[in-house]
Structure 1
Amino acid sequence: MVKERILSVDIFRGATILLMVLVNTPGTWSNVYGPFLHADWHGYTPTDLVFPFFLFIVGTSIAFSYKGRKVNAEVYKKIGVRTLKLIALGVFLGAFIIHFPFFKNFQDIRFPGVLQRIGVVFFFAAILFINLDWKKLIGVTAILLIGYWLLMTFVPVEGIASTLDRAPNNLANWLDVQVFGSHNYKADYDPEGLLSTIPSIASALLGIFTGLILTSKQEKKATILMGLGGSLLIIGHIWDIVFPINKALWTSSFVLVTAGW
């Protein structure tokens, strides 16, 4: 039996891919249209919406695929296999080059990455979804976002007060350097690092809630989603005052604003 397609999600997925193509192929990197560049650090541009939109779609897809499904060993196996495939493919692409010897030196291979994060986020979001009801998922989402905020703003780094700037005493940056060393995107930070993966799981969970609404028997789905989206935008921009919107750090305010859009 073929499941009915949800047109709005297909359109959203296609529009996100279109934006990704425009961002990744601007024609010339020497003169790029401003909105097709990432924000320097704090703040966001349309380009910064691409990745969180994909994670949001991962969440909606989880809701469509696993809602009402009987949980058994086979389901866990499929989730695990899909996760490992995404991580392995991400590491492979990070190591591959188009000329002989076709692979980078080991010390130059980047371990974190976009596909790796998608795999990890899919795993945790799917496991949470099949084991918890929507009320508990809301609690988990709140814990992830508030907990990350507290970690990033109140935990000192080697005795120095934490900062949200791109600096050695930024907790997310510091942890990535300690764990990955030269295998980061940059010498001092990675936009798909370890600690910032925690709130990115919340991006998928917010997509799950949207998927549940879309597949529910609610009559005013568009009105509900518009209200929730607007609320997330407002809360995210208010939170930005104390926890700046930042894609590289995947701050909690960034999660809410991007999910709101």
Structure 2
Amino acid sequence: MAITANQASAKQADDINAAPTRLFSLDALRGFDMFWIMGGEEIFHGMAKATGSPFWGAIANQFTHPDWNGFHLYDLIFPLFLFMAGVSTPFSVGRELEKGKTRRQLLLRVIKRAFILVLLGLVVNNGIKIMPIAEIRFPSVLGRIGIAYMFANIIYLYSKERWQMLWFCFFIIGYWLLLKFTSAPGFPIGDLTMKGNFASYVDRSILPGRLYLGIHDPEGLFSTIPAISTGILGILTGILLKKGDITQMRKVATMAVAGVIFLVLAQIWNLDFPINKNLWTSSFVLHVGGLSLLLMALFYYIIDVKGYKKWSFYFRVIGMNSILIYVSGHFIKWDYTTEGFFGWIGQLVGDPYNIVVMAICYVMVKWLFLYYLYTKKTFLRV
């Protein structure tokens, strides 16, 4: 018994002292997130169309966005990616600090990365062509990630953990107060409709070009304010995961408990400030933050704690080139490629399940492309 106890004690000490240098779970979760954007959701839409089943229809509906208030699982993809960008910060920016890089050097790198993401967002939105400014859509998914990532990282570089928590609260509470006590001209105070809310009004007033919905843009500038908190939450999670004086199981428990608390608080706040991805409301930040924490806890527990890594290889291949596959559709005609290689399979299967088979083939073609890059150790780093 004494030997067993000593061995267990030594294992626990190793678990505490060994701060991770890379999270396999983070690559896998990023790949899991991007899987749905690269075509995974179309498999379920195809099943719904092919079967006409209410069951598959309900699942497929979760891979759409609500018109305004409310939440579907598809709404999690974007904030989860931003959350994970934050998680990686202590392992990338933090490591460079430990190596002796100055905050100024890292600040310039963070700003450069944000600038590149904004430019890539413009390309994704508008393609590579000259057009009148009035026709350009400036807000974008990558642009929001870049701006929110930049401000969250500046806070990380120049403040301690406690202050980062305060900044997290400041952005979501401040945003709530701003929208509760303001509105677009001609609308009642606190109006949260698409046309009447203050955030959309500010975007209409100051942003050049066109907005995605004419009077509103879901990636608008003003609603990027609470998105900074999503990035900060990821950073705080990364700090927790990097700590060497806490056991892995305690990290899992902390993330899981925090995730549940966030979900409860989100539902309470939802009564006054509806969960709304379009406005990235504060209740939305807590809701998707809670789900992100629970997913991170699950993936971390299975992959990094228990050591079950092989099953996640499929997702890690995607996760290590996530930005590349996101922008690739503007340079590669994936539909044409899929039809060229596997169109015969769709014809062989025939209606109605050919749409499901072709959706699977579409994802497979993209994955094989990423796998080839993976074997060549070719990754797009921003």
Fold-level match, TM-score > 0.5?
yes
Residue in 2 that maps onto 1:109: 136
Among candidates 173, 177, 192, match of residue 164 of structure 1 = 192
Among candidates 234, 246, 254, match of residue 218 of structure 1 = 246
Q: Which runs of 5+ in 2 are unaligned?
A: 1-19, 50-56, 292-382
Alignment of 1:80-119 (within 5 A): 80-96=111-127, 102-119=129-146
Tell me the CA shift for residue 109 of structure 1: 1.0
Bigger drift between 156-165 and 243-252 goes to 156-165
Please say if 1:186 is aligned against 2:217. Answer: no
Please say if 1:61 is aligned against 2:88. Answer: yes
Q: Measure the CA separation in 1 of the matches of 2:236 and 2:204.
A: 34
How many percent of aligned residue pairs carry the same amino acid?
34
Please say if 1:235 is aligned against 2:272. Answer: no
Retained in 1: the 8 A contact 2:114–2:146?
A: yes
Residue in 2 that maps onto 1:51: 78
Q: Measure the CA separation in 2 of the matches of 1:35 and 1:144.
A: 28
Retained in 1: the 8 A contact 2:138–2:210?
A: yes
Q: Measure the CA separation in 2 of the matches of 1:172 and 1:25.
A: 32
Tell me the CA shift for residue 25 of structure 1: 4.6
Among candidates 205, 221, 228, match of residue 201 of structure 1 = 228
Q: Measure the CA separation in 2 of the matches of 1:182 and 1:4.
A: 43
Deviations along 1:100-131, whole A, 9 cap, x unmatched?
xx444432110111111111011101111010
TM-score, normalised by the number of residues in structure 1? 0.90
Tell me the CA shift for residue 155 of structure 1: 1.4
Q: Measure the CA separation in 2 of the matches of 1:165 and 1:229.
A: 29
Residue in 2 that maps onto 1:125: 152
Tell me the CA shift for residue 5 of structure 1: 2.2
Residue in 1 that maps onto 2:275: 245
Deviations along 1:117-160, whole A, 9 cap, x unmatched?
11101110111101000100111111100000001111143253
Q: Quick check: which has more Rg, 1 or 2?
A: 2
One-letter identity of the residue aligned with 1:66: V
Residue in 1 that maps onto 2:35: 18
Q: Measure the CA separation in 1 of the matches of 2:30 and 2:132.
A: 35
Bigger drift between 51-60 and 106-115 goes to 106-115
Q: Measure the CA separation in 2 of the matches of 1:58 and 1:36.
A: 22
Q: Measure the CA separation in 1 of the matches of 2:215 and 2:199.
A: 10
TM-score, normalised by the number of residues in structure 2? 0.62
Q: Measure the CA separation in 1 of the matches of 2:193 and 2:169.
A: 24
Q: How many matched pairs?
A: 253
Among candidates 87, 105, 123, match of residue 74 of structure 1 = 105
Greater RCO structure (CA 8 Å; 6+ sep): 2
Residue in 2 that maps onto 1:6: 23
Retained in 2: the 8 A contact 1:23–1:37?
A: no
SS state at 1:36 partner: coil
Please say if 1:255 is aligned against 2:285. Answer: yes
CA-based RMSD = 2.0
After the TM superposition, list the runs of 4 or more consecutive aligned residues in structure 1 that deviate by more than 4 angstroms.
23-28
Deviations along 1:212-257, whole A, 9 cap, x unmatched?
1111121111111111111111111111000000000000000011
One-letter identity of the residue aligned with 1:166: M
Please say if 1:136 is aligned against 2:163. Answer: yes
More helix by share: 2
Q: Which runs of 5+ in 1 are unaligned?
A: none
